Amino acid sequence: MKKGFTRKGGLKAGDFLLLALGAALVVFLFARYLYSAPAGKWVELSAGSAKARYELGVDRRVILSGPAGNTTVVIKNGEVWVEDSECRDKVCVKMGKKRRAGEQIVCLPNRVVIEVAGDQAEFDAISR
């Protein structure tokens, strides 16, 4: 009795064609996602009840205070990121740079929300 599927002779031409089509599809979908969301125009910062709005085109550094300490937000070259935070795990620092409308950085221990906004935000399938 045979166990599993085995084939002698390695990959055939049809196998390579399927692999190439699969790889092309992955590259196409990734590129479509990467370039489909519009670039943001401003950043909305929220720390507790304090709120502020800054243009993404103007470089600045903002320090927000929260229950866990200070969070340093940098806006530079059309991108926003958390440079440093006094929270324990620093997940907000590890979230990287954001520039597309709808992207967010959140620091839960410090109650800080940073959202890139613009004319249109990218939505996922559930919110459509």
In a domain, 84, yes or no: yes
State the total domains in the chain. Answer: 1
In a domain, 13, yes or no: no
pTM over 0.75: no
What is the distance between the alpha carbons of residues 114 and 117, in angstroms, rounded to a whole number? 10
For the beta sheet containing 104-107, the strands, ordered from the edge strand earlier in sequence to the opposite edge, are 50-55, 42-47, 112-117, 104-107
CATH number at residue 96: 2.60.320.10
Q: Which domain holds residue 72?
A: 42-117
- The answer to whether 35 and 107 have CB atoms below 8 angstroms apart is no
In a domain, 34, yes or no: no
Question: 128: pLDDT confidence band, cut at 50, 70 and 90?
Answer: very low
In a domain, 47, yes or no: yes
In a domain, 85, yes or no: yes
Q: What is the pLDDT of residues 80-126, one digit of tens each?
A: 999 999 988 999 999 999 998 889 999 999 999 999 998 654 455 55
